[in-house]
Amino acid sequence: MEIAIGFQTSLKPSISLRNPNFIKSSYTNSSILLANQILGLGLSSSVNTSRNLKLNNRSRFSNRSSINCAVSAATEPATVETTQLVRRGDVRNIAIVAHVDHGKTTLVDGMLRQSKVFRDNQTVQERIMDSNDLERERGITILSKNTSIFFKDTKINIIDTPGHSDFGGEVERVLNMVEGVLLVVDSVEGPMPQTRFVLKKALEFGLSVVVVVNKIDRSSARPEFVVNSTFELFIELNANDEQCDFQTIYASGINGKAGLSPENLADNLGPLFEAIIRCIPGPRINKDGALQMLVTNIEYDEHKGRIGIGRLHAGKLQRGMDVKICTSEAECKFARVSELFVYENFSRVPVETVEAGDICAVCGVGDVQIGETIADKAVGKPLPAIKMEEPTVKMAFSINISPFVGREGKYVTSRNLRDRLYRELERNLAMKVEDGETADTFIVSGRGTLHITILIENMRREGYEFMVGPPKVINKRVDDKVYEPYEIATVEVPEEYMGSVVELLGKRRGQMIDMQGLGSEGTSIVKYKIPTRGLLGLRNAMLTASRGTAILNTIFDSYGPWAGEINTREHGSLVAFEGGTTTSYALCSSQERGQLFVRPGMEVYKGQIVGIYQRPSDLSLNVCKRKAATNVRSNKEVSVVLDTALDYSLDDCIEYIQEDELVEVTPSSVRMCKNPKIAFKKK
């Protein structure tokens, strides 16, 4: 075994340690320092004093950019099991993780283009990996996806993961398939809430981490601050010495450039590819062992049926091979592999055989589920199941009971609703579905409101028609005391609106834990620990308070004592007390009571919410009233001027409704109404 330690100098000297006794002892810092002294290399500090002190306290180098990564199996304790495992050098499995909008998917675009995945004259859209219509509309990654590229005869399997905390379940699953992660951090914002979450998961899995400081071309970039903040985050998450000694790459994903220093970027992403080969170890496999493959993702094809995706941990998988599908030692079923695919460039390629360490897709395994193991038919054993964090928010789904039921939807019965919700559980492990109090009600639990809202949006596009109740937090009872989930809310807001935002968060039981300026852009970042209940309906209120300039990011922190009552809405609703078609005459007088959701000529029904009332109570009114036709000649025609109606999206409606209100979801419309089973508060 050979361990190579290289230094970024003009001569690029290296030391090769071949002594097996040294390897058997450990790959220690003192040995590296001793070798450094023998070579006479002076490592000059390139980061601030505080970071050097922390590195020295942990016996690490004080120079970040002058270290070449060297992966050594000697850092792992020698056991009976590991003696049978070997490193596969021609494959690298990596996941790209980041906070939302830190440029992760754009960086993947650059890696694919420079790897010649596409022809030079081929027209390729931006954010190639965001292939889902909903992803492209919202500008976020929702589902993790696989691709691969080749660099210097090494295959790099890349998994693009979501950046929003509500889809953390996707990240948790795919980390089972990789040996390392590219942690992408914005050069101005630095580590954000989701950065902490994904890094924590990566460190728990013992993965190697390469930090990519992206958007380095921004005018207010502060790379030294970002690297130091990232290092401090490693320390807070109890990373070991090897993990703290991470390689830093500075990049501009949109320009396709990268380098080892922010001032000297190469004309391509070559330094990033080299860092992946150098710093991310190859998969550790049992080449001659019994077949074992953990299914971590599911796709569906109209012709091939269900496709199980995962990394082959041991053995060899062949097309036409008889296998065993194991959930546990006692629960197993048998199947035959009809087709076998690996990922090459941007597509699946059929193959006859897949060796351990590679990521592949398997067809013909029937109703295989995420977390199950495809194992050898005779002696195969299941791998440990995938563990997920518990959901924090729940919502009630029920059949549509409005007078407009069946007009716009294709699937309207409780059986259709039940089948679709339970089918979602096959792929979305972070979600839970339970039967409600009645036969036509189901309780859906997820990581956050966005997590459940994406499901609702997908269902309405598939032709489902149903109703959903307001989001509620999932509390726990410990020693007869109620504990509720708390989240860390990070708000980026211009300084002129800081007072309004702080006041708003304070009303919702938030506690400030940090506040700092953000470069030279005149904005500040405030961090609050706030009950999840206080976040319901907060986004719209914050946009109103900051004139649309505030950026809110949240992530689950922990369960804490009940914070007390929180008033999330100060206004009541305007409710139609009879059905019909809205008229300009009626809306003209109604708009004096508040802001309306409806326009002239729209059909409404009794109990539908048509606007926001100015007072905390609800008000019933008639928005379908017509002007009397008597004595028309003596009445001069008066022009009617109507205010622009509020156009609430599905997310806005979910945030708006309270305990006695529902959202009616159909393929064509999203309406709000009063729950007929609950008497609403009148004026």
Comparing 108-112, 410-414, 487-491, 594-598, the range with the smallest average pLDDT is: 108-112
> Domain boundary at 376, 397, 419, which?
376
User: What angle is formed at CA 590 by the lines to CA 587 and CA 593, rounded to 5 degrees?
Assistant: 150
Same domain, 599 and 579: yes
Same domain, 270 and 315: no
- List Cα–Cα distances, 12 to 4, 7, 9, 15, 213, in angstroms: 12, 6, 5, 10, 24
Task: Specify the CATH number for the domain of residue 146.
Answer: 3.40.50.300
Strand partners, 72: none
Domain contains 69: no
DSSP, res 520: T
Per-residue pLDDT at 135: 61
Q: Once rounded to an integer, what is the mean pLDDT over residues 452-465?
A: 91
Phi then psi dihedrals of residue 383, to 5 deg? -85, 160
Per-residue pLDDT at 9: 34
pLDDT above 90 as % of the chain: 17
> Domain boundary at 250, 284, 318, which?
284
Q: Once rounded to an integer, what is the mean pLDDT over residues 118-127?
A: 51
Amino acid code (one letter) for 216: I
DSSP, res 636: P
Same domain, 257 and 324: no
Domain contains 64: no
Direct distance between the N- and C-terminal alpha carbons of the chain, in angstroms, rounded to an integer: 80
Same domain, 213 and 348: no
Domain contains 393: no
Distance (Å, whole) CA 84 – CA 327: 25
- List Cα–Cα distances, 376 to 298, 316, 322, in angstroms: 20, 9, 8
**pLDDT confidence of 63, banded at 50, 70, 90?**
very low
Task: Specify the CATH number for the domain of residue 506.
Answer: 3.30.70.240
Edge-first strand listing for the sheet containing 594-596:
594-596, 609-613, 573-576, 619-621
Per-residue pLDDT at 413: 92
Tell me which of 85 and 635 has the higher pLDDT: 85
**pLDDT confidence of 421, banded at 50, 70, 90?**
very high
Cβ density class 74-96: b for 16+ within 10 Å, e for less: beeeeeeeeeebbebeebbbbbb
H-type helices in 448-487, by residue range?
449-461
Domain contains 682: no
- Residue 244: both structure tokens together: 């703290």
Q: Closest by alpha carbon to 366, among 374, 355, 354, 358?
A: 374
> Is the confidence at residue 61, as pLDDT, over 50?
no
**pLDDT confidence of 73, banded at 50, 70, 90?**
very low
Distance (Å, whole) CA 217 – CA 574: 50
Same domain, 489 and 368: no
Q: Are strands 472-473 and 393-399 parallel, antiparallel or unpaired?
A: antiparallel
Q: Once rounded to an integer, what is the mean pLDDT over residues 514-539?
A: 82
Same domain, 551 and 610: no
Domain contains 172: yes
In the block, tokens 């039981």 appear at 509
Per-residue pLDDT at 683: 43
Q: Once rounded to an integer, what is the mean pLDDT over residues 611-636?
A: 78
Distance (Å, whole) CA 387 – CA 497: 41
In the block, tokens 């420079």 appear at 114
Q: Once rounded to an integer, what is the mean pLDDT over residues 15-29?
A: 35
Q: Once rounded to an integer, what is the mean pLDDT over residues 657-674?
A: 92
> Is the confidence at residue 44, as pLDDT, over 80?
no
Torsion, Cα 504 508 512 513, to 10 degrees, reads -140
**pLDDT confidence of 68, banded at 50, 70, 90?**
low
Domain contains 150: yes
- Residue 302: both structure tokens together: 């109209």
**pLDDT confidence of 170, banded at 50, 70, 90?**
confident
Same domain, 279 and 231: yes
Per-residue pLDDT at 82: 43
Query: Domain total for the chain?
Result: 4
Domain contains 554: yes
> Is the confidence at residue 469, as pLDDT, over 80?
yes
Torsion, Cα 53 56 58 62, to 10 degrees, reads 90
**pLDDT confidence of 55, banded at 50, 70, 90?**
very low
Same domain, 106 and 157: yes
Q: Assign 456 to helix, strand or coil.
A: helix
CA 140 to chain centre: 9
> Is the confidence at residue 5, as pLDDT, over 50?
no
Amino acid code (one letter) for 262: P
Amino acid code (one letter) for 379: V
Domain contains 356: yes
> Is the confidence at residue 438, as pLDDT, over 80?
yes
DSSP string, 483-494: EEEEEEEEEEEE
Same domain, 364 and 492: no
Per-residue pLDDT at 128: 53
Same domain, 197 and 276: yes
Same domain, 244 and 315: no
Q: Once rounded to an integer, what is the mean pLDDT over residues 573-593?
A: 89
Interval 91-115: pLDDT, tens = 888 888 888 777 777 888 788 877 7
Per-residue pLDDT at 138: 67
Q: Assign 683 to helix, strand or coil.
A: coil
Q: Once rounded to an integer, what is the mean pLDDT over residues 234-240?
A: 88
Task: Specify the CATH number for the domain of residue 648.
Answer: 2.40.50.250
> Is the confidence at residue 30, as pLDDT, over 60?
no
Q: Once rounded to an integer, what is the mean pLDDT over residues 330-352?
A: 84
Per-residue pLDDT at 466: 94
Tell me which of 161 and 54 has the higher pLDDT: 161
Same domain, 224 and 275: yes
Interval 387-416: pLDDT, tens = 777 888 999 999 999 999 888 889 999 999
Q: Assign 538 to helix, strand or coil.
A: helix
> Domain boundary at 561, 587, 613, which?
561
**pLDDT confidence of 38, banded at 50, 70, 90?**
very low
Comparing 33-37, 139-143, 448-452, the range with the smallest average pLDDT is: 33-37
> Is 326 within 8 Å of 375 (Cβ atoms)?
yes
Distance (Å, whole) CA 593 – CA 590: 6
> Residue 369 is part of which domain span?
286-376
In the block, tokens 């048998």 appear at 334
* Mean pLDDT comparison of 130-139, 159-168, 176-185, 513-522, highest-scoring range: 176-185
Cβ neighbour number for residue 435 with a 10 Å cutoff: 11
Per-residue pLDDT at 307: 86
Amino acid code (one letter) for 373: T
